[in-house]
Structure formats: structure tokens, C-alpha cells
Structure 1
Amino acid sequence: MEPIAPASADTAPSDPGVVVTSRWQVADRHAQRATADGAMARWRQMPWPEGCLSVTCLLSTDGHLVMFYSRWASEPDYRRHVADVVEGDTADRVGDHDSGVTHLDAVVSRLVTSPGSPSGDAPHPGCVALISIATDGPELQRQAAERIAAFRADAHPGAIGGHLLFSLDGARVTLYAEWTSEEAHQEAIAGSRFGGPRGIFDGVPGIRGLSMHRYQRYRTAGR
């Protein structure tokens, strides 16, 4: 896997679009699959939103989260879509409000480091690890990215590729990392080189780990 470069004006992609990550909590694996299927069916049946490039659904390996990773041409395109859904009083794209599904968050970010282009013989990702980091402003977003780059310079053989997302409000950095398997990621983070049990941001003011979850890609829809 190519090391993730520190964020700077030179590494930011020219694409002005945004990425929205939206997480939903469910009771168990049965509800997880039903929620994902219902949501993706709605994306395919309803008129495709203007400016939406793609939507990917991922299921957490613990059976309790459904995540949607959507790419949009611009932030206004995404905001118009949200307003249209609310104004139209349509069924939520995730499912029935009485189904025990809880919306946790929706984070609007810009892509800071572009996803790599794996070679033809690169393994298929068996696991996607999403690590969320809280940051007190844009400058600390850059510092967090630099620290991640330093710890990933010597990648584990199970790592395939990854990219960073900076939330537009400066409050979060998300690392999206592809791995050959869940076991490979577990092995990698067990080593002290990743900062030990308290994480690589231990002792860094204004930066702190929020969450880490492993997912598997489930379905994708696009225009």
C-alpha cells in the first residue's frame, strides 16, 4: 500500500466535490441486512439526485452498523438533496422509523488524499477500517494527517490502500483504509508501533480518537 502523504495544498485533489459518510445503528445482523437492502432499493427506485456521483453501502463486521459513503459533485448538491427529502416527506432512505434503526451521524468532508489506483494483481479488500479522529480546527486536521502518515510509512503487508477525509467544519478527520481481511487489520493495530492501547494521538492537545469500526462493502449504486 502506498503511504498516506501528509495533507497540504499540494496533496489535496483538484476535485471540488464532497464525501458524505452517514452511519446508522441497528440491533443485529438480520436488521443490518434488511436496513441495507431497503435503503439501496430506494436509491435505485427514486429519481437519482442531481450531483450525486455514487453511493456505497458498507456493513460493520460486528453486525450493528450500516454506513453509506456517498460522493457528490458539490456540497450544495448534497444540501439540496437533504432539503428535498425533508420537504417531500418521503420515506427515509434507510427504512422504517419504527424499525429500531438509529441515525448516529452524517459527516460532510472533502477528500484530501486521493484513493490509489491498485495494480491488476492487488487483492480484493476483505475489510474496510474507518477510523474517526476529533480535531479542534483545520490546523489540527493537518497535524493529525501528518501523524497518521508517519505511523503508516512502513505499511503492514495486509494493507491495500486508503485515503483521508477532512470534515468541512474542521472537527474531524476520517481514515478510510482497505485491508485484505479483518484479521490482518487486527494484527496490524495490535503492534506498539501504532501507539499502543491509547492510540497514536495520546498526549497531543486538540486531537483525540473517536471511534474505529471495521466494515465490508455490500452494495453500490450510481448514475
Structure 2
Amino acid sequence: MTRRTDAHPDPTRPGIGAPFFSTWRVGSPERQAQTVEAIARTWEGRPWGSAALLGYHVYAGHDGSTLMHYSQWRNEQGYEAYFKTLRQERNDEIDTAVPGIERVRLDRYRLYRSHARAAGDTRVPGLIVTVRIDFEPDAAEKRADWVDLVLSALAGPDADRGLISAHFHLSTDGTHVLNYAEWESDQAYDEAIGGPESPQWERVRTYPGVKGFTGNRYRHALGLVP
């Protein structure tokens, strides 16, 4: 069966070969809460359904309108089998409970590298931030070098103590990087981005081939595991 959990997921968990992130637009904070509960009821009322799915987590956007979904798959073949046999009936039940959900996009990734949680750090993230870094069409091969530059900065004196972890995913279509970051709090994140920019972080921001950055803030709203 399916079990609900309050624990945040570990993006570095062994066996995750295909991490997916998707976005739904639901329109209001009230509908965010209704949709999260509809997802929970739908999944908890059924068998887990796929041995290829290790965990499924839903996040409420601070914009009051969106939900982010993070699913940890062993491989893309497992997702494709689920998509063909189980996905639609579950979405239909959710849509019956909360009509008018807009499913905006689903992106497929591979985890490249992480700024891992320090040993013994037991903080529960108060804020999840995703940053999408888009690259020029001919710059896909530069994405890994850019991540390496960021991780070098995070390992140095410019690292912020309010950052718990950061996980850098390369999109399988070659267009962008997604950073899934755990922060201690909104205040810690605000202080980090509001401070002066060091030369090392300026190199990150102005790296050749980078088109732009898009950031979003979330709170963990639902975890589902087998």
C-alpha cells in the first residue's frame, strides 16, 4: 500500500536513475490545500503500483497558485509503464475532487552532483528553493562545468550557513540545470541572496552560455512512499 510521510526526500538516495519534476497550476492557496489532500486520498486508497517508484513528494509554491511534484524513479522505463497503466485513473480522481487543474510541464533529469548535508546536520528544511538555469542551445556541454564552479563556491568561504544542501540536476533534453536546495528558513535565504556578490559568485552569474535564472520557493506539503 501507500504510506504518507512528513520526511523530506533525499535526492542522493541510491537507486534513483530518473528524477522527475513537474508543475501544476491550481489557482489559489485554498485549491493548493484541496489538491494536496486529493492527491493523498487518491494514492493512499490504492496499492503503490510501481516497484520502480521510490518516492513521490508534493510542494506548495509560495506564489499561492502552483504545486511542484518531485518523483524518484529507478528508471524511465518504470515511469513509462506507470504512465500507460495507472496515471490517468489517478489524475481523473484528483480532477473530480478539484476541477480545473492545469498540468503545466514535466521535466526529466539526471542528478549530476550535490552539495550534501553535513554529517550530523539534523535540521528540517523550512524552505525549498528551486532554481532553473537555462543555457544557450549550443552550451549543453557547459552545464557540468557551471555546476562544478558553483560547488567550488559553496565549498569555500562564500558558503552560507543557512543552506542545508543543494542538488544539481541536468535536464535530459540538454537545455538547463535545476538546483533543488534545502534552506533553514526564508530569512536565511533572503539574507544569502541579499548580501554583496563576491567575485566567485559573479563568475557563476556571468558564466558563458547561461541565458538566465528562474527561482521559486516552496514548502514540503506531502510525501508518499511505499
> TM class, shorter-chain normalised?
0.7 to 0.9
Give 3-state SS (helix, strand or coil) of 1:20's partner.
Answer: strand
Tell me the equivalent position of 2:65: 64
**TM superposition score normalised by structure 2:** 0.79
1:90 to 2:92 alignment: no
Tell me the equivalent position of 1:146: 148
Tell me the equivalent position of 2:187: 183
Which of 166, 172, 179 is matched with 1:168 structurally? 172
CA distance in 2, matches of 1:94, 1:158: 39
After TM superposition, the structure 1 stretch with the greater mean CA deviation from structure 2, 158-167 or 119-128, is 119-128
Tell me the equivalent position of 1:36: 36
Seen in structure 2, the aligned counterparts of structure 1 residues 116 and 201 have a Cα distance that, compared at 3 Å, is closer
CA distance in 1, matches of 2:92, 2:193: 34
Tell me the amino acid that sits aligned with residue 155 of structure 1. Answer: A
CA distance in 1, matches of 2:151, 2:84: 37
Seen in structure 2, the aligned counterparts of structure 1 residues 77 and 25 have a Cα distance that, compared at 3 Å, is same
Tell me the equivalent position of 2:22: 22
Q: How much does 1:14 deviate?
A: 7.4
**TM superposition score normalised by structure 1:** 0.80
CA distance in 1, matches of 2:169, 2:92: 24
1:157 to 2:137 alignment: no
Tell me the amino acid that sits aligned with residue 146 of structure 1. Answer: D
- RMSD of aligned alpha carbons: 2.8
Identity of aligned residues (%): 25
Q: Which runs of 5+ in 2 are unaligned?
A: 1-11
Tell me the equivalent position of 2:219: 216
Tell me the equivalent position of 1:106: 106
Ranges of 4+ aligned residues in structure 1 off by more than 4 Å? 12-16
